Amino acid sequence: MKPETIRVVITGASSGIGAATAIAFARQGASLLLGARGEEGLADVARRCREAGGRADFALVDVTDADAVARFARRARQVLGGIDLWFSNVGIGAVGKYLDVPIADHHRVIDANLVGHMNDAYPVLPIFRDQGHGIWVNMISVGGFIASPYAAAYTASKFALRGFSQALRGELHDYPNIHVCDVYPTFVDTPAIYHAANYSGARLKMPPGAMAPERVAEALVALARKPRATTVVGAPASALELGQFAAPVTASLMDRFMDRWTRRAPPAADTSGTFYVPPVGASGIRSGMRGGGSDAGAGAVTGGAGQNKAALALGATLLAALGLQLLRRRT
């Protein structure tokens, strides 16, 4: 499928990886419908897509509301005339020891990261069957392979997402032109770090080496040309296999690392981030912590406002990889 003719739907499109992917497809001349909770962020990304040469519309949608997602899918089919690729990209995370995070926030993580993706798939797969083709892209992250202490619900949601995709591929074996594609990025520099819930007591910080969201976006555009079940961005797939094999040791090491880090980092008050409120302003694609400032639009995020649009829920996956590095040093 040629990106210049493709019709693309992206949920979680108002910042981070979703925004970068929308613009990458727009540069190829694609037609897009963008969805998220924050109107200002969506309007900013849609404008950027049009300036890049694509056709872009947007609609507010909360993926935890199945009826709202069904309406969004119907609108996408009407606006675009069909759906060739649907990118399920919403992802949130709560950082903190399991018992320190309110149970309602754990539920919210599962609702957004797992149930939200299931809500996305439910209306679009019948559309794909009617068309006889389609690509459903499931943003997971390396957190789907490596357990992350201080992010228990996030880990549960990402492990479950991987199983959900595997089950769908089994059920769709009679439809060779319908593809379920999982994407597993490692460290990604997005505004997610400003938007997550944080009950660790420590101020969150983007670690060095985080890759640009545009790199993940390139992998998404490539899937439109050549769908594949598993795409790892930022690390060899073998590293994820090693992480699974060494999971008990890795998780223990990472928990100790997090305990030390939270004691030494600058303090921060507990926050639920943007779990229960729509984002305010345009968050942009990157966090601005890597140098060069943020790329957010005129309505930049203020305070803790904004939505975690990266499938990487802040330090959860980042610190899983750090735990893996610690393991390598001891073996």
The answer on pLDDT for 81 being more than 90 is: yes
pLDDT, greater one: 98 or 296: 98
pLDDT tens digit sequence for 225-264: 999 999 999 865 555 555 555 556 567 777 787 888 788 8
Helix (H) or strand (E) holding 286: none
127 burial class (0-12, 13-18, 19+ CB within 10 angstroms)? middle
pLDDT value of residue 306: 28
Q: Which domains does the chain have, with CATH numbers?
A: 3-330 (3.40.50.720)
Mean of the per-residue pLDDT values for the chain? 85
CA distances from 283 to 125, 135, 186, 233 (A): 30, 27, 21, 23
**154 counts as catalytic:** yes
What is the rounded average pLDDT of the residues 29-41? 97
Token pair in block for residue 82: 């069909």
Which of 98, 150, 154, 184 is catalytic? The answer is 154
Band (pLDDT 50/70/90 cuts) for residue 159 is: very high
